[in-house]
Chain A
Amino acid sequence: MSVLDHRPLGPAELLVRGAHVLDPRTGIDAPQDVLIRGGEIAEIGAPGSLEAPAGAEVLDGAARHLLPGFVDPHVHLRTPGQEHKEDLDSGTRAAAAGGFVAVVAMPNTDPTVDSAPVLRSLRDAARREARVPVGFMASVTRGLAGEQLTEMHELRASGALGFTDDGKPVHRAGILRMALQYQRLAGGVIALHEEDPTLSGTGVMHEGTVSARLGLTGIPSVSESTLIARDAALARYEEGRIHIQHLSARESVEAIAEAKARGVRISCEASPHHLTMTDEALLEALDTRRKMNPPLRAEADRQALIAGLRDGTIDCIATDHAPHAREEKEVPFEQAPMGTTGLETAFAAVYTDLVLPGVLPLALVVEKLSAGAALMGLPTPRIAVGEPANVCLVDLDAEWEVGEHGYESRSENCCFAGRRLQGRVLATLAAGGVAYRERSFALSAA
């Protein structure tokens, strides 16, 4: 039984003609024709060698790239309970527009996804509304209160991918230890938002020279790294499997590297905004869209994240897509909720700021944008014959301004708003069906 849910899409019948196919996992890196029949990759051949069957659509891939679809292990779809920020339809539309073919939704909703009935009704809704497959995490503790474990076994049996109290740390070491013990029965990764509340306190941004200048209370980087070190030690002791969410600080990269060197079963993610922006952005404009948790940190932190991605300390890129309504963000910085949207801009932001200047190779970025799948126990999209069509077609030369035509997400709190980015997703095929076509991108029948 699949643990991913989406509404049925007609299986695609189409030929992508002459796109540069890049899949670092299969080693393919050349212009190819790719034929998709019945939602599966049926044939891959030299450009011009494949014919579109009757009735199949043809996508002109010339000067475009066909990539394995991205998988985001960390998004907030705000459903149930906060549908004014995002719902399953809008959130997965945003995902598809960003080239994502699967997303993993966090359980910090209202009510919390902390019981099998809530999870089951959410999965039912996803089967009606989701444009791309969605997997759901359940919370580690009931109501995210940090005190009592959820029924992890039953939740897993009902389809929970894993467990997280994301938005909050599991503050009590003893509770996390029990969750790690119980993981032996229930299975599923335990994903951790690492932050010591006694260190982050009432902080609203990174603690450093910028916070000193602005008079804003800082969140020190050691708030994150100290808890990572604690939890890595617990995971090692209990031989548990943990995944560290949204790494932001240099010290955290060091803590992960040390844990991996000791053989801890630990993986981690970094977000496009932490890889491309720093707290200096708040000096340019104290814009609440640039307020998120963990906060944008200093340049040395950003460089450490990039190095960690390059050397494998950081396993994948995850957006932490966190929509908030306009009126919630249209307040003084200190009062605004934490979070930025990110699904629609993830690829373009990383491509523009890291690939184009030659900091990271395109193949590495493509690999990291889907590496979250395996970490969550999901199949990894591959461009190979016999695989379901989970691909996106991108124009690496297309320039666009973030937000100029609005967003697919219900919310507009994107930290990249107003930026000119390069690299546009033109079409996304998820689980064998066409999940997204860029407005200006016409499909022509063969």
Chain B
Amino acid sequence: MRHLLSIEDLDRAAIERILDRARSFTEVSEREIKKVPALRGRRVLNLFYEASTRTRSSFELAAKSLSADVINFVSSGSSVEKGESLKDTVQTLSAYQPDLIVIRSPHVGAANLVAGWTTAGVVNAGDGKHEHPTQALLDVHTLLQRFDKLDGLSIWIVGDVLHSRVARSDILAFTKLGARVTVCGPPTLIPRGIAEALGCDVEYTLDRLGEADVVYALRMQHERMSGSFVPSLREYASVYQIDGRRLGARQVLMHPGPVNRGVELAAEVIDSPQAMIGRQVAAGVVVRMAVLYELLAGRGAPSPQAVSSYPAPQPA
């Protein structure tokens, strides 16, 4: 495997292999010297075109924990602000001979495009509303700390599914591992055709939330809410907020962060023992270590090869 662009690049066995390795890396994080030399001398380039706290810092920490060298490139204050195109930026930075490029972009398919323009491996760290595959892997990893397996679990993903790349990657990953996924949210925030496209169920109310083993709340994305998809956040919260009344004692609660306290989640559930939000963040580092290891370890430097000609196809 050269790139991780979509959860669809992984079959069940590959997911399990990566997560087995993530578990073995957990021990590294608990050492006094939190570093192993597995990727010494490798260069990892973080290319972030969108604000990100945990994804970027966890990729950086993951690479450093494996002794790779890390370059961080953020779009603000860079040549991007001078109008440099994504292609030119990637080709310029490729001159530094990175072994891996981690890219976050507001645009669907950006990671696939980058993969066509460089000889480095590419990890999609979020491309628009499309996918965020490492988030899905760390979510599975977190769930496997609580459940032996995902087979037969009922997982409800609640909230703004329309704008969520996390939802798309999670639905694919959870169903690959045998879970049954239900998406639930206001009809304006559930994309038309999603049941058929991703093989999930659709609900518009939380009436049957009690069936869920896992409740995965999504962030209400203010920054993407250019249209008035809901009449008010107050009404949204009254219908869809996961609070102490709605969350059952045996249900597990997840959220990709950052949380809007009092919107999609009430304070009492964030701080409840059912919440695994902190564990998700911790899982981010070890799972990303495992992904970097999967793509880079035991592999020679990438051989120069013809990069695709215009326009680079973006296999979706």
Contacts and interface: CB of A to CB of B under 8 A. Distances in A.
Interface of A: 201-202, 207-218, 220, 282-289, 326-327, 329-335, 412
B313 A287 contact: yes
Contact of A285 (B87, B110, B313): B313
Interface in B196-220: 196-198
A216 B227 contact: no
Tell me if B's interface is mostly helix, strand, loop or mixed. Answer: loop
Contact of B315 (A202, A209, A285, A412): A285
Contacts of A217: 129
B198 A212 contact: yes
B238 interface: no
B170 interface: no
- Please list the 7 inter-chain residue pairs (A to B) with the smallest Cβ-Cβ separation, ordered nearest first: A215-B129, A332-B107, A209-B193, A286-B314, A215-B130, A209-B197, A285-B313
B245 interface: no
Given A327-B85, A332-B110, A285 B197 contact: no
A326 to B, nearest CB: 6
Given A211-B193, A215-B168, A329-B311, 6 more contacts: A207-B192, A212-B192, A216-B128, A330-B310, A330-B312, A332-B128
Chain B, interface residues (CB within 8 Å), range: 20 to 34
A283 B107 contact: no
Contact of A333 (B87, B107, B310, B315): B107
B49 to A, nearest CB: 10
B287 to A, nearest CB: 22
Nearest to B131: A215
Nearest to A330: B311
Contacts of A218: 191-192
Given A209-B197, A332-B110, A214 B192 contact: no
A366 to B, nearest CB: 33
A34 to B, nearest CB: 41
A334 B316 contact: no
Contacts of B311: 287-289, 326, 329-330
Interface string B287-316: 000000000000000000000001111111
A237 B176 CA distance: 57
B165 interface: yes
Contacts of A284: 315-316
A332 B86 contact: yes
B80 to A, nearest CB: 13
Nearest to B109: A286
Contacts of A289: 311
Contacts of A209: 193-194, 196-197
Nearest to B130: A215
A363 to B, nearest CB: 36
A104 to B, nearest CB: 28
Identify which of B108, B129, B192 gathers the most chain A CB atoms within 10 Å of its CB. B108
A213 B7 CA distance: 12
Nearest to B168: A215
A282 B109 CA distance: 11
Contacts of B128: 215-216, 332, 334
A283 B196 CA distance: 14
Identify which of A209, A286, A412 gathers the most chain B CB atoms within 10 Å of its CB. A286
A270 B220 CA distance: 40
Contacts of B316: 213-214, 282-286
A332 B315 contact: no
Given A326-B311, A327-B85, A286 B197 contact: no
Contacts of B193: 207-212
13 contacts: A212-B192, A213-B197, A213-B198, A214-B316, A215-B165, A284-B315, A284-B316, A285-B315, A329-B311, A330-B87, A330-B311, A330-B312, A335-B107
Nearest to B316: A286
Identify which of B105, B193, B194, B198 gathers the most chain A CB atoms within 10 Å of its CB. B193
B55 interface: no
Given A208-B192, A331-B85, A213 B168 contact: yes
A333 B315 CA distance: 12
Nearest to A201: B227
B129 A216 contact: yes
Contacts of A213: 168, 197-198, 316
A288 to B, nearest CB: 6
B113 interface: yes
Contacts of A327: 85
Identify which of A207, A214, A329, A412 gathers the most chain B CB atoms within 10 Å of its CB. A214
B241 interface: no
B290 to A, nearest CB: 25
B164 to A, nearest CB: 8
A333 B197 contact: no
B112 interface: yes
A60 B113 CA distance: 47
Contacts of B86: 331-332
Given A215-B168, A332-B105, A286 B192 contact: no
Contacts of A330: 85, 87, 310-312
Nearest to A215: B129
B87 A212 contact: no
Contacts of A212: 191-194, 196-198
A286 B108 contact: yes
A111 B273 CA distance: 65
A209 B130 CA distance: 13
A257 to B, nearest CB: 25
Given A285-B314, A287-B311, A333 B168 contact: no
A341 to B, nearest CB: 13
A169 B96 CA distance: 48
A286 B168 contact: no
B149 to A, nearest CB: 26
B165 A334 contact: no
Interface string B73-102: 000000000000111000000000000000
A333 B198 contact: no
B85 A214 contact: no
A217 B163 CA distance: 9
Contacts of A412: 310
B63 to A, nearest CB: 25
A276 B165 CA distance: 31
B309 to A, nearest CB: 10
A210 B108 contact: no
Contact of B197 (A202, A210, A334): A210
B108 A332 contact: yes
Contacts of B113: 332
Contact of B108 (A215, A283, A287, A329): A215
Contacts of B85: 327, 330-331
Nearest to A220: B192
Nearest to A208: B193
